[in-house]
């Protein structure tokens, strides 16, 4: 069965942290749905506007194998302020993989309880959004069904970790080789 992935974009998302997983997951054969939180055209933190496949509200009745949350300060805050985003994350965590990078682990996942007892990385300084959270200084951490990435510079490694979790390490290695990573 082909894994299904929901990538949620909110205004102010970090472009590299969104586009890299979308691209590599599609290369791997995953069914990727890019969902805009409030709009079909979403502006990133550096002005890149990305067209989405659907609105998040149109995806809420579906079950996905993975949800991906790109970071970006404003983007993460916009994601965290949405009950629908938190609901989609918690629902996916029941049987699937939750992947968040940069500010999203602390800012968004910190509101869900999913970080409790997990080793987590993220953008340095974002711990202030989640009292008691200690971020590891690693680029990417997989702890059970939770994958966290540190920042835009970790986007390739983060994306390949998601592929390894949804498919296997052989598939992740093949994609890495394809893009000469």
**Catalytic amino acids?**
102
**DSSP letter at 115?**
T
Choose among 105, 113, 118: nearest CA to 151. 105
Choose among 137, 174, 129: nearest CA to 153. 137
> Which residues are bridge partners to 149 per DSSP?
101, 140
Q: What is the 3-state secondary structure (H, E, C) of 62-106?
A: CCCCEEEECCCHHHHHHHHCCHHHHHHHHHHHCCCEEEEECCHHH
């Amino acid at each position: 069965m082909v894994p299904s992935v929901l990538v949620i974009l909110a205004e102010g998302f970090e472009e590299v942290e969104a586009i890299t997983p979308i691209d590599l997951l599609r290369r791997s054969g995953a069914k990727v749905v890019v969902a805009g939180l409030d709009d079909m055209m979403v502006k990133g933190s550096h002005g890149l506007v990305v067209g989405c496949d659907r609105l998040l509200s149109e995806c809420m009745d579906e079950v996905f194998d993975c949800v991906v949350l790109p970071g970006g300060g404003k983007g993460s805050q916009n994601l965290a302020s949405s009950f629908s985003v938190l609901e989609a994350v918690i629902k996916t965590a029941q049987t699937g993989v939750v992947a968040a990078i940069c500010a999203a682990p602390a800012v968004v996942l910190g509101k869900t309880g999913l970080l409790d007892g997990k080793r987590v990385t993220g953008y340095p300084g974002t711990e202030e959004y989640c009292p008691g959270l200690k971020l590891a200084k690693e680029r990417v951490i997989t702890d059970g069904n939770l994958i966290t990435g540190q920042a835009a510079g970790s986007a390739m490694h983060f994306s390949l970790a998601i592929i390894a979790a949804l498919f296997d390490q052989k598939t992740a290695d093949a994609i890495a080789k394809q893009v000469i990573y």
